[in-house]
């Protein structure tokens, strides 16, 4: 097999799944999402390809694809050694393009696009090393790993030297934790029983099934109707997720009413940008035993820094595609470890479970060294569509062994669900179940 030396081409696909039909993935804000991805493939002069995705919710995917496509000229033709030997500097270069940066910076569509491209590079690198991403990160020399990160704007709370020291400190005992992960896996919770559009009967049936499969932790969606939420909270309780529907005082009042059901956290209680609002909610709810969780829409490491500084979150929910890929996610995991805040990654979207598992293994083995108050999300749909679906055993993710970041979608599925001309979509249009984008108000 010939080892790649440079990127020769980049392709971007808009792949969407009609999850709104069954209300999979629905919440109080996103009432009918179609879980989708901007799908990036990097071709090389060798035998390997890199694949990266960014999770989106249907309409809008084409915009992220367009943004990713415009990044081609910063990727194609580049030598892989130049990228991987100076990955932190390369990441800085692509996120600081002097013109592209104006429509970010480091947030929104451009950052979602960055994630897909950057994650494809990490997938390729891990395949070249012959390791799953988590294992490559666990084995990498601390200095080399830290060289992949961009510390701009966060050096007031975490320096390169401090990050190296943190990794070195944990390295003495990492083999033990790696063996533990290989044996028992990383604890997870499921969101799949609690999507907002599901009936009470469906929730009860799914929760019962999940318990028989070894799940003991659940998340339910809230925020549409308080009486509905109270009734459902009695069916199962643990974490609740409002997906940004409330103002600060609404969040405090609503959650005070749900407090008797003892939720561990309230997720995204208000605007994801309102750091001080989250801090006020946390201050009011922490005494009731409820923590604040957020991060799936936290734009970048700078905002995470402030959330941590302001004591505005008790559970840090990194997302594999909202931040600008592995390089930036690792800085947030390190900052969270410094503040002793548990990282509980967000994974309610296609490909996210497959991606975030790598972060949880890395976090436990090499960074936090703790499982206390930590669990990663699992959502039960769109796995058979993946080339290497997550392995779940007794409510735990089991570490994957195949090389790469492992977010590839089965080729026939890619073809069928490519929007709008894949056969599955043509069929849905023909049946009148969907209208093409721009032909309708809403599905």
DSSP 392: E
- Which residue in the set 346, 358, 374, 381 belongs to the binding site for ligand LWAPGFLV (CB under 6 A)? 346
Q: Which residues pair with 38 in a beta bridge?
A: 14, 54
The window from 63-71, 93-101, 110-118, 345-353 that contacts ligand LWAPGFLV (CB under 6 A) reads 345-353
Decide: is 192 part of the binding site for ligand LWAPGFLV (CB under 6 A): no
Decide: is 348 part of the binding site for ligand LWAPGFLV (CB under 6 A): yes
- Toward ligand LWAPGFLV, which CB reaches closer, 181 or 220? 220
- Which residue in the set 18, 33, 345, 395 belongs to the binding site for ligand LWAPGFLV (CB under 6 A)? 33
Instruction: Find, among 371, 380, 315, 307, the residue nearest to 341 by Cα.
Output: 315
Long-range contacts of 329-333 (CB under 8 A, 24+ apart): 329/359, 330/137, 330/145, 330/148, 330/149, 330/362, 331/149, 331/150, 331/151, 331/154, 331/158, 331/163, 331/301, 332/301, 332/304, 333/359, 333/362, 333/363, 333/367, 333/368
Tokens of 290: 């409820």
Instruction: Find, among 324, 279, 337, the residue nearest to 152 by Cα.
Output: 324
- Which residue in the set 30, 177, 358, 396 belongs to the binding site for ligand LWAPGFLV (CB under 6 A)? 30
- Toward Mg ion, which CB reaches closer, 4 or 269? 269
Rounded alpha-carbon distances, angstroms, from residue 223 to 116, 209, 313, 407, 419:
31, 25, 19, 31, 31
Decide: is 229 part of the binding site for ligand LWAPGFLV (CB under 6 A): no
Rounded alpha-carbon distances, angstroms, from residue 398 to 258, 320, 360, 385:
33, 18, 11, 19
**Residue 43 Cβ vs ligand LWAPGFLV, minimum distance, rounded to whole Å:** 31
| Start-to-end Cα distance in the chain | 47
Active site residue 346: yes
Residues 355-384 binding ligand LWAPGFLV (CB under 6 A) are: 377
Residues 246-275 binding Mg ion (CB under 5 A) are: 267
DSSP string, 102-129: GG-SSSHHHHHHHHHHHHHHHHHHHHHH
Single out the catalytic residue among 135, 346, 358, 396: 346
- Which residue in the set 241, 319, 363, 385 belongs to the binding site for ligand LWAPGFLV (CB under 6 A)? 241
- Per DSSP, the three-state class of 409 is strand
Single out the catalytic residue among 127, 221, 278, 381: 221
Instruction: Find, among 222, 218, 223, the residue nearest to 204 by Cα.
Output: 218
- Toward ligand LWAPGFLV, which CB reaches closer, 100 or 417? 417
- Toward Mg ion, which CB reaches closer, 34 or 267? 267
**Residue 46 Cβ vs ligand LWAPGFLV, minimum distance, rounded to whole Å:** 36
**Do residues 118 and 327 lie in contact, with contact meaning Cβ atoms separated by under 8 Å?**
yes
Residues 321-350 binding Mg ion (CB under 5 A) are: none
Degrees, nearest 5: CA angle 277-281-283: 115
- Toward ligand LWAPGFLV, which CB reaches closer, 57 or 83? 57
- Which residue in the set 106, 241, 319, 328 belongs to the binding site for Mg ion (CB under 5 A)? 241
**Positions marked active-site:** 221, 346
Chain positions contacting ligand LWAPGFLV, by CB under 6 A: 25, 27, 30, 33, 57, 191, 241, 243, 296, 346, 348-349, 377
For Mg ion, the binding residues (CB under 5 A) are: 241, 267
């Amino acid at each position: 097999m010939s080892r790649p030396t440079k990127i020769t081409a980049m392709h971007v696909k808009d792949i969407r799944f009609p999850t709104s039909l069954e209300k999979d993935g629905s919440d109080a804000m996103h009432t009918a999402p179609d879980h989708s991805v901007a799908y990036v493939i990097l071709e090389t002069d060798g035998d390997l390809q890199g694949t990266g995705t960014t999770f989106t919710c249907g309409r809008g995917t084409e915009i992220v694809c367009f943004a990713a496509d415009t990044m081609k000229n910063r990727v194609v033709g580049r030598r892989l050694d130049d990228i991987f030997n100076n990955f932190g500097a390369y990441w800085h270069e692509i996120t600081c393009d002097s013109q592209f940066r104006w429509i970010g910076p480091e947030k929104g569509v451009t950052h979602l696009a960055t994630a897909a491209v950057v994650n494809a590079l990490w997938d390729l690198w891990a395949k070249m090393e012959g390791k799953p991403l988590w294992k490559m990160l666990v084995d990498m020399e601390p200095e080399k790993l830290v060289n992949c990160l961009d510390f701009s704007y966060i050096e007031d709370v975490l320096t390169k030297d401090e990050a190296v020291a943190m990794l070195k400190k944990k390295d003495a005992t990492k083999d033990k934790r790696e063996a533990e992960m290989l044996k028992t896996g990383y604890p997870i919770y499921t969101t799949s029983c609690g999507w907002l559009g599901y009936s009470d009967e469906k929730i009860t049936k799914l929760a019962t099934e999940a318990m028989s499969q070894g799940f003991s932790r659940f998340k339910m969606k809230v925020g549409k109707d308080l009486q509905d939420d109270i009734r459902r909270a009695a069916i199962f309780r643990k974490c609740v997720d409002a997906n940004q529907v409330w103002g600060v005082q609404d969040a405090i009042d609503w959650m005070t009413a749900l407090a008797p059901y003892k939720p561990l956290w309230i997720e995204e209680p208000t605007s994801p940008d309102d750091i001080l609002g989250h801090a006020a909610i946390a201050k009011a709810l922490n005494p009731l035993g409820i923590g604040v969780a957020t991060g799936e829409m936290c734009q970048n490491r700078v905002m995470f820094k402030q959330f941590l500084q302001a004591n505005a979150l008790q559970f840090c929910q990194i997302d594999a595609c909202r931040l600008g890929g592995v390089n930036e996610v690792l800085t947030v995991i390190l900052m969270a470890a410094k503040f002793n805040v548990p990282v509980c990654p967000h994974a309610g979207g296609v490909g996210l479970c497959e991606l975030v598992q790598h972060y949880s293994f890395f976090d436990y083995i090499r960074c936090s060294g703790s499982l206390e108050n930590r669990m990663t999300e699992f959502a039960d749909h769109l796995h058979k569509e993946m080339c290497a679906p997550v392995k779940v055993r007794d409510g735990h993710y089991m570490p994957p062994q195949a090389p790469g970041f492992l977010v590839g979608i089965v080729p026939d599925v890619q073809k069928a669900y490519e929007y709008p001309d894949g056969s599955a979509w043509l069929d849905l249009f023909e049946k009148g179940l969907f209208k093409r984008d721009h032909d309708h108000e809403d599905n």
